[in-house]
């Protein structure tokens, strides 16, 4: 498992407006953590196919169908960064290109108001 990989994850139970159910997520955490089997927590970004979510502004990155083997036009919801136990990751889907990962990082900076 590496940063930028997409996995199917079971995001239940969740609450409120959090993304829930079985859905793709992007691995965000550092590879040093991802590659350590005893490190159980993985930081992820949920992905949605909702057209409403795709219009949420600079914290959302469009992921056209075919990106990292996604079957539908989707959006990375960088304002919904979350931590999961790695047991919730079910199956690897694919990996983002470097260019797409850079766009994700810029959206994360906007989501948490970090300035370089």
Q: How far is CA 82 from CA 69, 85, 112, in A?
A: 22, 10, 13
**pLDDT digit string (tens) for 15-40?**
455 555 788 999 999 999 999 989 99
Domain borders along the chain are 5-112
Confidence of residue 57 (pLDDT cuts 50, 70, 90): confident
Cis-peptide into 13, omega within 30 deg: yes
Domain 5-112 fold = SH3 type barrels. (2.30.30)
Q: Please give the angle made by the CA atoms of 49, 6 and 3, to the nearest 5 degrees.
A: 130
The pLDDT of residue 1 is 92
pTM score, whole prediction:
0.88
Cβ(92)–Cβ(70) under 8 Å? no
- In this prediction, residue 21 carries a pLDDT of 73
């Amino acid at each position: 498992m590496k940063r930028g990989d997409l996995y199917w994850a079971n995001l239940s139970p969740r609450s409120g407006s959090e993304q829930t159910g079985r859905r793709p997520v992007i691995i965000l955490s550092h590879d040093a953590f991802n590659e350590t089997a005893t490190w159980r927590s993985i930081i992820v970004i949920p992905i949605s196919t909702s057209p409403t979510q795709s219009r949420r502004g600079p914290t959302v990155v469009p992921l056209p169908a075919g990106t990292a083997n996604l079957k539908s036009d989707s959006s990375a919801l960088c304002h919904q960064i979350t931590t999961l136990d790695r047991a919730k990751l079910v199956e690897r889907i694919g990996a983002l290109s470097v260019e797409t990962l850079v766009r994700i990082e810029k959206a994360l900076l906007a989501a948490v108001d970090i300035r370089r």
